[in-house]
Structure 1
Amino acid sequence: MAIIKLQIDDFISVDYELIAIHSSLEDYRLAYFINQKLGISFEKSEKDIGIQIPEGKSHFTRFVFDDEENELYWNLIPNKTKVISRQTKAPSLFEATEMEVTTNLFLLPEMKKVDYLIKIEQVDDWFDTEKLVDELLSIKQITTAYKLEQNKLKSKNNLIF
């Protein structure tokens, strides 16, 4: 009997574009400026992106836009969120104090300087990512924006939602 080996990479297809954005704006303000410039309609999603970490469960807010005309699905996601965990510290033998510790959690830990990500799903060959980046760069509140290569990311599984 013949043995057939299937590689998992044979089934993985990259059908989305990923754009990194550097901006000091809050997520809702950034969504507003992008909506104004691109003529799209990002809306705050009720479904956040949940990530399980040793300190507990955390979530990333997201804004979504379903472009039915072009059959695209847009996500605007912050790359960083804060996790507050309680830790008990015993300064002496008979006394224990509880402290709140704030930790930064990144959706893409290898891209810690990136503030936001735009993930555009179901893209085809006709989609012009360079034009989109140029339009994003024309928003004065955005410091810089550029396309990310998904195959070079170590934590690309965090983008499956």
Structure 2
Amino acid sequence: MKSKKLHIEYNYDFTLLGLATSAREYKLAWHINSALGVRLVKQQELSVEFLNDREITISHFLFKTEYSTFRLLKNKSLAGAGKSGFLLAELAHFDYLIMINDDGGFFDPDGTLAALKSIPVVEYLASININKLKEKENLIFE
């Protein structure tokens, strides 16, 4: 009997930034709010299930307009949430990930990057090429 496979192609049309800092997430969110003039709001924790029956719970903040979305995601699983792990293990050197989906032109790419780099608690910030990530499917949720 012939079997058929369903192949799904996701559209990764967002900007991904990796951020290293020793600051707590609420303090980092406050700094980002001040630097970018946004209002990041703490959301309910995200539970991400992997194919190997592993599950992690991550914390995140969200700012959303009609056409733009800015997410601050903690890359490491919450401490009391069962097994530890990373949302993107290949980017384990980053404490936080920032996803920017900007169809409305709310965020100027160069201005946003410069404003985030000017935050005093940000130790390192880098733009990440999504197409080179092996675990990029972990970023599809909602």
TM-score normalised per structure 2: 0.81
> Is 1:119 paired with 2:99?
yes
Question: Match for 2:68 among 58, 69, 72?
Answer: 72
Paired position in structure 2 for 1:138: 118
Query: 1:9-64: per-residue Cα shift (whole Å, max 9, x none)?
Result: 4xx33321111111111111100110011100000012x22123668643101100
Question: Match for 1:40 among 31, 38, 41?
Answer: 38
Structure 1 residues 82, 44: CA separation in 2 closer, same or farther (over 3 Å shift)? closer
User: Could you tell me whether the CA contact under 8 Å between 1:15 and 1:123 is conserved in 2?
Assistant: no
- Residue aligned with 1:144, SS: strand
CA distance in 1, matches of 2:49, 2:7: 28
Structure 1 residues 14, 103: CA separation in 2 closer, same or farther (over 3 Å shift)? closer
Name segments (4+ residues, structure 1) moved above 3 Å: 6-9, 53-57, 82-85, 122-128
Question: Match for 2:77 among 81, 92, 99?
Answer: 81
How much identity, in percent, do the aligned residues show? Answer: 31
Structure 1 residues 8, 126: CA separation in 2 closer, same or farther (over 3 Å shift)? same
> Is 1:51 paired with 2:51?
no
> Is 1:109 paired with 2:107?
no
Which one-letter code corresponds to 2:41 in the other structure?
E
CA distance in 1, matches of 2:89, 2:96: 13
Query: 1:58-101: per-residue Cα shift (whole Å, max 9, x none)?
Result: 31011001123xx101110011124669xxxxxxxxxxxxxxxx
Question: Match for 1:129 among 109, 119, 124?
Answer: 109
| Count of aligned pairs | 135
Unaligned runs of 5+ in 1: 1-5, 86-101
| Higher CA-based Rg | 1
- Residue aligned with 1:106, SS: coil
Which one-letter code corresponds to 1:107 in the other structure?
L
In angstroms, what is the RMSD of aligned CA positions?
Answer: 2.7
Unaligned runs of 5+ in 2: 1-5
Paired position in structure 2 for 1:93: none
CA apart distance, 1:124: 6.6
